Amino acid sequence: MQAQYDEMPFYNDCREMLSAIPFGFSVSEAEWKLYGSEWWMERISCRKQERFSFSPNGQIYLLDNLDSKPLDQPYKFIVHHNNPQAENPYGTAALSQCFWPWMFKKSGFRFWLTAAEKFGVPTVLALFDCSDETIARTRAAALSAALAGIQSDAAVALANVKEVDTLEIKGNLEGFKTLIECCNSEISYAITGQALATQEAQYGTRAQGEVHERVMDHVVRGDARALAYTENTTIVPWIVELNFGPDAPMPRWVYDFEEYATWEQVMGALDHEIPVSKEAIYTRYSIPKPQDEADAYVYKKPAAGPGSLMLADITTGAEGSRGQMSEGKIKSAQDSVDMAIDGLSPEALQAQMEGVLKPVLEMIKQGNSYEEIMAALAADKPRLETKELEEIMARALFVSDVWGRLNA
């Protein structure tokens, strides 16, 4: 089964079968070829709907020169219906709900183009006096021919004309645009059940867009389930019966609609030490699976260096044991800082001072003001941003304050 699906253009065949959505039904012809003792379905050719008709009981007929022939050849014709009904074998055509919106849209475009042409090049009107009607008609025809060249000629000379005026369109052309947008929305609702996911909405919010997207997803899933039913009643059993017999185990074609966790959810589970399937990560998120340990690359987060200040837990005592704190013992943020300082040993602070903060602390001792210290830091570390310099300053001042308290 899998070999036959891989050899035939199955995706394109399914897409042609889905022409039943706009037209109500689709008829496809299975083309077979015998290779040794195996029957292979080489392709599925979709035929035009106007060539077929149905009887009230659902029997399909081929229309040939006003004559109908029943198509009862086995393993040959695949009929897929869109929302079939008991007494309507032709199915429900989505395009039948789009006819009037499409007709109004077509007419709207035609009138819109005419109005745009009149708006861009207004009608020119020449007024003249003439008592003889015959001469007036001849004169009007000559003036009309002369005025018609205004669009392309640089200048036009008119004799015995009292006044030349233009007839311009008043207002704007927004009404035609509104009509066409309304027709587009109705067509979108008829085919997909929503509008925001298929066109730009002027007043649609993100929440509305997500709701419309879910509606479209529901419609797509329904179409896929209907297509799977047709495949499991025609293509799949035909291939199995012709090659293995009617009593062979029958596989089923299933479209996977399961919603998997997002990558952010997977990373959150890993951060909380929740077991996650490695095989699922490699297959569902298209991550290349390493061939062996030598091919695997695992990024390790850098360990905290001597220059990073790690505060002890505020509930940890000087001996490293977790103390018992009564509720409401910490009265302010200063109490928290004091308890954190009590949990630090002089050796830990000495490591901090001898690390990255040592040169910064030397600058603090030599500086006369905050601005001079910042200037010295900027000169020593020109690639650091202002925010990073301020963080280094704050860390150094904090270490200096703690060091002074412990050594007072």
pLDDT digits (tens, 9 = 90+) for 147-173: 776 656 666 666 677 777 776 666 677
In the chain, the percentage of residues whose pLDDT exceeds 90 is: 16
DSSP letters, 44-100, are: EEEE-GGGEEE-TT--EEEEETTEEEE---TTTEEEEESS-BTTBTT---GGGGSHH
Least confident of 65-69, 275-279, 312-316, 330-334: 312-316
The dihedral formed by the CA atoms of 188, 192, 195 and 198, expressed in degrees to the nearest 10: -90
In the predicted structure, residue 309 carries a pLDDT above the cut 60: no
Q: Which residue did the predictor score with more confidence, 348 or 323?
A: 348
Phi, psi of 190, deg, nearest 5: -70, -35
Residue identified by tokens 């709907």 is: 49
* Confidence band, pLDDT 50/70/90 cuts, at residue 288: confident
pLDDT digits (tens, 9 = 90+) for 204-235: 566 666 777 787 788 888 899 999 999 999 99
In the predicted structure, residue 405 carries a pLDDT above the cut 70: no
Stretch 254-270: mean pLDDT: 84
In the predicted structure, residue 331 carries a pLDDT above the cut 50: no
Gap between the Cα atoms of 55 and 71, Å rounded: 12
What is the model's pLDDT at position 243? 92
User: What is the reported pTM?
Assistant: 0.54
Gap between the Cα atoms of 246 and 239, Å rounded: 10
In 193-302, where does DSSP find H-type helix? 206-233, 235-244, 263-271, 278-284
Taking CA atoms, 373 is separated from 360, 361, 395, 397, in Å, by 9, 10, 13, 11
Residue identified by tokens 């997500």 is: 210
The helix/strand/coil state of 38 is strand
Q: Across the chain, what does the average pLDDT equal? A: 75
Highest mean pLDDT among 22-31, 113-122, 288-297: 22-31
